[in-house]
Amino acid sequence: MALNLLTDVPRFLFFTGKGGVGKTSLACSTAVHLAEAGKRVLLVSTDPASNVGQVFATELATTPRPIPAVAGLDALETDPDVAAEAYREKIVGPVRDLLPATEIAAITEGLSGSCTTEIASFNEFTDLLADPASTAAYDHVIFDTAPTGHTIRLLALPGDWSNFIETGKGVAACLGPMSGLEKHRDAYAGAVAALADPERTRLVLVARPDRSSLDEAARAAVELADRGMRRQYLVLNAVLPPDAVQGDDLAAALAARQQEALRELPEALRDLPQDRIGLRPGNVVGVPALRDLLAAHDGAPALADGAAHEDRADEPPLGVAYDLPAGLPVGLDALVDELAENDHGLVMCLGKGGVGKTTVAAAIAVALARRGHRVHLTTTDPAGRPEGVVRDPVDNLTVTRIDPGEAIAAYRDRVMRTKGAHLDADGRAQLAEDLLSPCNGEVAVFHAFSRILTQATRQFVVVDTAPTGHTLLLLDSTGSYHREVVRSMGPVQHFTTPLMRLQDPGLTRLVLVTLPETTPVLEARELEQDLARADLHPWAWVVNDSLAAAGPTSSLLRARAAAEGEHLREVADHAERVAILPTLAIEPSGAERLEQLSHLAPVPVSPTGR
């Protein structure tokens, strides 16, 4: 039976969804399928934490490069830093020899923030959509996008900037970054038209069959439909096939939980064309695995029996032995005990989308509160809902979220009340127009984040951060603000910036959250390197959702547990502090279940797993 997402494929396809649901695997598999059907295909990753290159074992660049194993397939990864540097040079280059060095330095600094990065990145994105010459050689252009919140922002930008250019009458507060926007007016309008045209564009919402993933997909479906993207398809990935249960209580519980979630699909998803892809025994890496992935639908892999899978070179054999590296602690107890030695501090949970940052942050917050400490749990993730994970009231615990819309509204109001109070009517009108700039979104979130950081000097603040790319933009804003303060205050004055708080190991503990899989561990290591450039260093690693720590007996789940071994050993050898959390039969939501994550014990596993 043909998959819906591969039927009458339009020119542009967007794969989006919550982090960790398999967007990249499905986008890459679709690209392979179309190329092997004789089409010329360009695969584009707009995810700041892209791993398309790792999936194909090919080094990619910001311009198309061929995938050697697949004729007709080219791929590129947009690089926000490279795009921003090129954008800066276009503005600074022509005046570098005309202005004093101090002015050039000021202009360069003004172009160093996240606003410039965002504009430069979406300029590349809109060119691919609106400039026929840039993709004329291809029949299809497939976008592997960042996790949902970041993607909605990206897809909204062409319209936001078109509106701002059309209605803005004053000089924007981010004039430096915006100085090249006017000439892109036609490109933005063309991108908006392409996104809203169902004959040219299809949006593929990817979700796993669990409530949080489906709820986020439903929110994205509604918001993107409101922005004109109504040709939507739903792909449910990693569905446990019926024969995977095999008398395993854990597998049976996971399958039952999935089926319940599928029966209760959110209303926004119920009428969408739908495909179901079965859970694979191993990671989907390499062309053979990508080719076979889309042979898996209706909830069962094309090769579901153990004998067939044993012959597959790209997947581990079913029924193999597995174990946990010696001494790897299961549960968060040791980490929480060490944190609780103080009565305040900042704990930031970071990582790729979909690795369980919200759960880990909520569990740490609940455990600290139950030990009698005052705790503020919050999130910088536009799609984050920590209150939905904690659910129950907990003494000493306050749960909030930094809502971008509310943060922007509060920022605009504050600027108008302060800076605007000293302006005449014309000046206030110009300032109000400035504040409509989409650049102010990151600035507003940064200010809200900074205010919360100050609380960490007198209580615990636990932050569930946005997926990697968005968090790095926030840290970029933090660094830019720090440099501006240092320059304006001079060496003799005492001050404390948000970046200085983050760099203080006595105050801030960074917790990297990952999964025991190739790509999440690789991306966590890359994030660690990005943080090091800002002199920020992880305090601990948490490996979440480990089947090896859960002790499954199902052949399929045991094969996946066996594949975790090398990744668990890598983290154990690399990190100073490590905790592992097992895959659980019941989702860890609600205060009681969250607190249990601090008091887990390893599941004994014999060489046969029985």
In a domain, 298, yes or no: yes
| Cα dihedral 555/285/587/325 (nearest 10) | 70
Respond yes or no: is residue 23 known to be catalytic: yes
Retrieve residue 127's tokens.
């060119």
- Domain boundary (310, 345, 377) is at 310
Same domain, 288 and 365: no
- Residue 359 among the catalytic residues: no
154 and 64 share one domain: yes
Please state, as a whole number, how many other Cβ atoms lie within 10 Å of the Cβ of residue 610. Answer: 8
Q: Is the confidence at residue 308, as pLDDT, over 50?
A: no
CA–CA dist 296, 279 (Å, integer): 9
Domain assignment present for residue 357? The answer is: yes
Q: How far apart are CA 436 and CA 431, in angstroms?
A: 9
Q: Out of 519, 583, 589, 598, which one is annotated catalytic?
A: 519
Q: What are phi and psi of 220, to 5 degrees?
A: -65, -40
Sign of the CA dihedral running 286, 291, 292, 298:
positive
- 513 pairs with which residues across the strands? 542
pLDDT score of 114:
56
- Model pLDDT for residues 81-96, shown as the tens digit of each residue: 777 787 778 778 887 8
Whether 243 shows a pLDDT value over 70: the answer reads: yes
Please identify which of the residues 16, 17, 25, 380 carries the catalytic annotation: 25
282 and 343 housed in the same domain: no
Catalytic option among 18, 23, 352, 357 = 23
3 state SS of 437: coil
266 and 196 in a common domain: yes
More reliable by pLDDT, 155 or 340: 340
- The reply to whether 506 falls in a domain is yes
Contact 605, 322 (CB under 8 A): yes
Residue 226 lies in a domain: yes
Residue 361 belongs to a domain with what CATH number?
3.40.50.300
The whole-number average pLDDT for the span 353-382 is 90
**Do 210 and 66 fall into the same domain?**
yes
371 occurs within a structural domain: yes
Same domain, 260 and 385: no
Contacts of 309 (CB under 8 A, 6+ apart): 281, 303, 315, 317, 318, 559
d(Cα 124, Cα 553) in Å, to the nearest integer? Answer: 48
Catalytic (active site) residue 114: no
- Non-local CB neighbours of 161 within 8 Å, separated by 6+ positions: 119, 122, 181, 184, 188, 438
554: domain range? 333-403+455-596
In the prediction, which pLDDT does 608 show?
A: 42
**Cα 582 to the center of its chain, rounded Å:** 22
Does one domain contain both 293 and 342? no
Decide if pLDDT at 342 tops 70: yes
24 catalytically annotated: yes
- pLDDT score at 304: 33
Q: Are residues 251 and 356 in the same domain?
A: no
Q: Which of 46, 47, 420, 476 is catalytic?
A: 47
Among residues 16, 24, 477, 554, the one annotated as catalytic is: 24
Which of 22, 110, 479, 565 is an active site residue? 22
Specify whether 381 is located in the same domain as 300: no
Residue 312 predicted with pLDDT over 60: no
Q: Is residue 448 part of a domain?
A: no
Does the active-site annotation cover 25? yes
Q: Considering the domain boundaries, does residue 418 fall inside one?
A: no
Domain count, the chain: 2
Q: Indicate whether 591 and 530 sit together in one domain.
A: yes
Question: What pLDDT was estimated at residue 305?
Answer: 32
Based on the fold, state whether residues 268 and 373 are members of the same structural domain.
no
More confident residue, 505 or 440: 505
- Residue 297 sits in the same domain as residue 371: no
pLDDT tens for each residue of 3-55: 888 889 999 998 887 777 888 899 999 999 999 999 999 999 877 666 788 88
List 19, 20, 331, 551, catalytic entry:
20
What is the pLDDT at residue 605? Answer: 47
Q: Which of 310, 341, 365 is the endpoint of a domain?
A: 310
Asked whether the beta carbons of 16 and 151 are under 8 A apart, the reply is yes
Concerning whether 354 is annotated as a catalytic residue, the answer is no
Selected residue with higher pLDDT from 98 and 487:
98
Q: DSSP secondary-structure letter at 84? A: H
pTM over 0.85: no
Q: Model confidence at 309, in pLDDT bands (50, 70, 90)? A: very low
Domain boundary among 310, 342, 360: 310
pLDDT of amino acid 474? 53
Is 267 a residue whose pLDDT tops 80? Answer: yes
pLDDT tens by residue, 112-150: 655 566 667 667 777 777 777 888 899 999 988 765 555
Using DSSP, state whether 603 is helix, strand or coil. Answer: coil
Structural domain includes residue 342: yes
Q: Which CB contacts under 8 angstroms, 24+ apart, belong to 251-254?
A: 251/552, 251/553, 251/554, 251/556, 251/557, 253/585, 253/586, 254/583, 254/585
Would residue 50 show up in a list of annotated catalytic residues for this protein?
no
* Distance (Å, whole) CA 315 – CA 292: 11
**Cα separation, 368 vs 370, whole angstroms:** 5
